[in-house]
Structure 1
Amino acid sequence: MKRQWRGRTTATAEQTGTRHHALTLDGVTREYRSGVVALHPIHLTVPRGRFLAVMGPSGCGKSTLLQCAAGLDRPTAGTVRIGGTQLSSLNEAALTRLRRERIGFVFQAHHLVPSLSVAENVALPLMLGGESPGDRHLRALAAVGLGDRGGAVPSELSGGQCQRVAIARALVTTPDIVFADEPTGALDPAAAEEVLTLLRQAVDRDGHTVVMVTHDPFAAAWADEALYLMRGKLVWRQERPEAADIRRVLKELGGRTA
Structure 2
Amino acid sequence: MNRQWRGLGTATAERTGTRHHALTLDGVTREYRPGAVALHPIHLAVPRGRFLAVMGPPGCGKSTLLRCAAGLDRPTAGTVRIGGTELPPLNAAALTRLRRERIGFVFQEHHLVPSLSVAENVSLPLVLGGHSVDGRDLRALTAVGLGDWGGTMPHELSGGQCQRVAIARALVTSPDIVFADEPTGALGPAAAEEVLTLLRQAVDRDGHTVVMVTHDPFAAARADEALFLMRGKLVWRQERPEAADIRRVLKDLDGRTP
Q: CA deviation at 1:17?
A: 5.7
Q: Is the partner of 1:19 in helix, strand or coil?
A: coil
Instruction: Give the structure 2 partner of residue 208 of structure 1.
Output: 208
Q: CA deviation at 1:134?
A: 1.4
Instruction: Give the structure 2 partner of residue 68 of structure 1.
Output: 68
Instruction: Give the structure 2 partner of residue 187 of structure 1.
Output: 187
Deviations 1:132-163 (A, max 9, x none): 10100011001100011111110000000000
Q: CA deviation at 1:89?
A: 2.2
Q: CA deviation at 1:71?
A: 0.2
Q: Is the partner of 2:139 in helix, strand or coil?
A: helix
Q: CA deviation at 1:251?
A: 1.4
Taking only aligned residues, the RMSD between alpha carbons, in angstroms, comes to: 1.4
Deviations 1:178-199 (A, max 9, x none): 0000000000000000000000
Deviations 1:193-232 (A, max 9, x none): 0000000000000000000000000000000000111110
CA distance in 1, matches of 2:80, 2:199: 23
Counterpart AA for 2:140: A
Q: Is the partner of 2:114 in helix, strand or coil?
A: coil
Q: CA deviation at 1:34?
A: 5.1
Instruction: Give the structure 1 partner of residue 239 of structure 2.
Output: 239
Instruction: Report if the CA contact (8 A) 2:39-2:231 is conserved.
Output: yes
**What are the equivalent positions in structure 2 for 1:136-215 lying under 5 Å apart?**
136-215=136-215
Instruction: Report if the CA contact (8 A) 2:57-2:250 is conserved.
Output: no
Q: Is the partner of 2:33 in helix, strand or coil?
A: coil
- Identity value in percent: 88
Question: Any stretches of 5+ residues in structure 2 without a counterpart?
Answer: 3-15
Q: Is the partner of 1:165 in helix, strand or coil?
A: helix
Q: After the TM superposition, which parts of structure 1 deviate over 6 Å for at least 4 consecutive aligned residues?
A: none
Counterpart AA for 2:53: A
Instruction: Give the structure 1 partner of residue 13 of structure 2.
Output: none
CA distance in 2, matches of 1:214, 1:148: 30
Instruction: Give the structure 2 partner of residue 26 of structure 1.
Output: 26
Counterpart AA for 2:254: G
Counterpart AA for 2:99: R
CA distance in 2, matches of 1:131, 1:204: 27
Question: Any stretches of 5+ residues in structure 1 without a counterpart?
Answer: 1-5, 7-15
Counterpart AA for 1:55: M
Question: Structure 1's 17 and 36: CA in aligned 2 closer, same or farther, altered over 3 A?
Answer: closer
